[in-house]
Amino acid sequence: MQIKLDPAKHVAFLDEINMSISAIDGELDRLDASVKTLQSAWSGEARDAYRVAQSEWSRSMRELRAFLDHAREGAADAGRKLRAADEGVRGLWG
């Protein structure tokens, strides 16, 4: 069995995760700004229903962001360990 890490692809993968996290953060910020503007025009049940829906959506997006952050850290750690193992094996041969 052979495990091989392509450093360039690994960095590109980590960059994609970072871009996804940044995109989620940006969307949450834009949504919060829009909601503040829109809520002032709504009243009663419409405002309450939207507030509940937006709160649930925001919570889900924060959970997704946390998952991506955890995945990024795991992938980065795996890359570090694979590089260290590769260097260790190279050291055995010379």
Taking only the tens place, the pLDDT of each residue in 12-26 is 999 999 999 999 899
pLDDT of res. 78: 92
Contact 21, 69 (CB under 8 A): yes
The count of structural domains within the chain is 1
Query: Which residues, at least 6 apart from 21, have a Cβ–Cβ distance to it below 8 Å?
Result: 65, 68, 69, 72
Tell me, yes or no, whether 28 lies in a domain. no
Tell me, yes or no, whether 63 lies in a domain. yes
Domain range for 74 is 42-82
Tell me, yes or no, whether 21 lies in a domain. no
Tell me, yes or no, whether 5 lies in a domain. no
Tell me, yes or no, whether 73 lies in a domain. yes
Tell me, yes or no, whether 72 lies in a domain. yes
Tell me, yes or no, whether 14 lies in a domain. no
Give the separation between CA 26 and CA 32, rounded to whole angstroms: 10
| pTM listed for this prediction | 0.71
Output phi, psi for 77, to 5 deg: -65, -45
DSSP for residue 15: H
Tell me, yes or no, whether 48 lies in a domain. yes
Give the separation between CA 16 and CA 18, rounded to whole angstroms: 5
Contact 53, 31 (CB under 8 A): no
pLDDT digits (tens, 9 = 90+) for 41-66: 888 898 889 889 988 988 998 899 89
